[in-house]
Chain A
Amino acid sequence: MEVLEAIRTRRSVRSFKAEPIPDQDIVGILEAARWAPSAGNRQPWTFIYVKDPQILRMVKNCAPGLYGAAPAAIVMGIDKKDERRGVLDVCFAAQNVLLAAHALGIGSCPIVSFNGEAIRKILNAPGSWEPILVLSLGYVDKPSSFPSKKSLAEIAYVDSYGKKWKELEA
């Protein structure tokens, strides 16, 4: 799948099949995360792949935003001392995960609505570690509809704020 096609066709998925994801695909997805850009190449992130049903159950209990019965999740976190730039780095890595998963035919959804302290304890992470994102993963059961997107003319300008670019006026 071409990168631009993957970007255009990826959707946040909230309805998953129970079918497990092969480990090798998860390794490929994590590898994509590893290659994300990072400020000063600090790579402050840690990725925890959650596949144990009991741990996943507890993560779900503490993540109100996690819909559907995803068979797996990746929790992405940083050391609290890296918070300022680390959050951005995690977001870059997360986008790589979402696109890599999509390219492998796996649905995903980024979740920020969760109880970080609870997730940290469930995953036995140290007090210095802070979860930033939970990404649910699984094969798509019901595909999500295409969301409406603002036009480029509404969100992009040329040379100065508010200056329209005629190339964007369709």
Chain B
Amino acid sequence: MVQDLDARFFDLLLRTLNYSIEFVKEPSYASLRFMDLLSSLLNLQPFLKDLTKNEFYERLRERLEERELIRDPVKRETVQAELLEMFIDEWREATPQK
């Protein structure tokens, strides 16, 4: 069950990031709003005591701390690519055979 919560939370964050990436080229605020949602979800993580990837989530939070980076669409794209890489690396570490 705990493992399930871990996977679900991880998936929810990654999906939110991908929604943000999907809209990054558009002139609307959709991409920025999804990044805000990602930050909010990450800030919720310390209250979810059963989660185990705490160090990973801490690293994500650190990367998202500078909102100026997220506000600028060009810089946001770079941060998004870094975050995506972090998610895939974390997934590979958890499932080393992949």
Q: Which residues of A contact B (CB under 8 A)?
A: 52, 54-55, 57-58, 60-64, 113, 115, 117-118, 121-122
* Nearest-Cβ distance from residue A60 to partner chain B, whole angstroms: 8
Q: A64 contacts which of B15, B81, B85, B88 (Cβ < 8 Å)?
A: B15
Within 8 Å CB of A113, what residues of B? 22
* Nearest-Cβ distance from residue A17 to partner chain B, whole angstroms: 20
Kindly supply a per-residue 1/0 record for chain B positions 79-98, scoring 1 wherever the CB is within 8 Å of any chain A CB and 0 otherwise.
Answer: 00100110010010001001
* Nearest-Cβ distance from residue A63 to partner chain B, whole angstroms: 8
Q: Which residues of B contact A (CB under 8 A)?
A: 7, 11, 14-15, 18-19, 21-22, 81, 84-85, 88, 91, 95, 98
Interface of B is mostly: helix
Closest to A58 in B: B91
- Interface pair B98/A64, CB less than 8 Å apart: no
- Interface pair A54/B98, CB less than 8 Å apart: yes
- Interface pair B19/A55, CB less than 8 Å apart: no
Cα–Cα distance between A62 and B81 once the two chains are bound (Å) = 13
- Interface pair A55/B98, CB less than 8 Å apart: yes
